[in-house]
Amino acid sequence: MAILPILRYPHPGLKTICEPVRLFDSALSRLADDLLETMRAAPGVGITAAHVGIFQRVVVIELGKEDRVRIYINPEIVSVSDKVTRNTEGSVSMPSATEEVTRPGAIHFRYQDLQGVQHEEHADGFLAICIQHEADQLDGVFWLQRLSKLKRDRLIRKWEKTAR
């Protein structure tokens, strides 16, 4: 396993729409392992291959040390709840910058595992938020785009000051 360099905001790669994974092989498993190690080192609870400049639809989530590691290949949100929730979000590509984001509180989604087997699941709460956040990234939507222009501009100015 290796810690990979993370693209930092405003890197243009963070706006890239990722390609579906078509080859389920040992290289994909190594990438998932490397993403896990990179995410833990950042630290974070979720990461995509896009965060490290590999534009494939791969997501790794680990909500906490006591939680299992979740690997989602080609995730797709099928439906969302009407009920919304607010949660503080951030990104491994923009360390220490956080803001509240409003998203649906529950989702139904499908994905493939590392062997290419298709799965469908329901998620709610923090896991649903994380999956939506990472699915956005795979679609080239950086989490800041979910903020109002005022909040986004204020957060970027603050982050740029601390990033120097």
Q: At 154, which helix (H) or strand (E)?
A: helix 149-163
Q: Which position among 37, 66, 100, 134 bears the catalytic label?
A: 134
Return left, alpha or beta for 155; rule: phi > 0 is left, psi -120 to 50 is alpha, else beta: alpha
Report d(CA 109, CA 8) in Å as an integer: 28
Instruction: Tell me, yes or no, if 134 is annotated catalytic.
Output: yes
Total Cβ atoms within 10 A of residue 69:
14
The residues assigned a catalytic role are 134
